[in-house]
Amino acid sequence: MPAGPNARARYVASRAFVLLVALGVAGVAIPCPVGHAQERTQASGERQLPRFVSLKSARVNMRQGPGENYPIAWVYTREGLPVEVVQEFDNWRRIRDSDGTEGWVFQGLLSGRRTAVVAPWEKGEALPIRAAPEDTARITAYLEPGVLAAVTRCRNGWCRLTDSRFVGWIRQDRLWGVYPDETID
């Protein structure tokens, strides 16, 4: 420990800072004031947290921490899968998938292309997509829960999905990969 009249205080403060940083990097939740946990906050550059992105590759390793030295916790094998970025550290992004699983992914494996999964929380009946963003519009297809599609537009509670097999509008609250009332153009 360093010598001097304030050395112990500086030493204790620096150790506390290192501990907080280590806990944050290790993925331990550090409490924050009530009401701030779900706020979308400014992150690196001009991007906000949390935000949705998609997986750029058909094979993406999710790690237990932000670095290649951390063990692989999960391997994604679905290119385009939407994930939510909830934290950033250097070139690493802590992501959450539709199942709630969280871990770290290298930023180069993520894309800004917007995609969504149709009602992954449901099992059973297919959901209609429509020719226009209204409940009375003609049905263009029925999509099973878990179907992945590109999101090309969202407005007034509806999102337009596109795929080589279908195009149509679906209620925004039936998708995982977009925020409620988020506008996408």
How many whole angstroms separate alpha carbon 146 and alpha carbon 152?
Answer: 18
Out of 14-18, 31-35, 64-68, 96-100, least confident range:
31-35
Range(s) for CATH 2.30.30.40 in the chain?
47-112, 117-176
Mean pLDDT, all residues of the chain: 83
Q: Report the pLDDT value the prediction gives residue 44, as an integer from 0 to 100.
A: 52
The answer to whether residues 32 and 41 touch, using CB atoms and an 8 Å cutoff, is no
CATH code given to domain 47-112: 2.30.30.40
Rounded Cα distance, 168 and 139, in Å: 8
Class level of CATH domain 117-176: mainly beta
Exposed/middle/buried for residue 29 (C-beta within 10 Å: 0-12, 13-18, 19+) = exposed
Lookup: tokens for 36:
């701030």
How far, in Å, CA of 157 to CA of 136, rounded? 15
CA distance 32 to 75: 31
At residue 124, the pLDDT reads 86
184/134 Cα distance (integer angstroms): 17
Span 25-83, pLDDT tens digits: 444 443 333 222 333 444 455 579 999 999 999 999 999 999 999 999 999 999 999 99
Compute CA 50 distance to the chain's CA centroid, rounded to the nearest angstrom. Answer: 7
pLDDT of residue 46: 55
Bin 157: left if φ > 0, else alpha if -120 < ψ < 50, else beta: left
Report the percentage of the chain scoring pLDDT > 70: 75
Interval 120-140: pLDDT, tens:
999 889 999 999 999 999 999
Q: What is the average pLDDT across 158-182?
A: 97
Measured in degrees and rounded to the nearest 5, phi and psi for residue 16 equal -65, -40
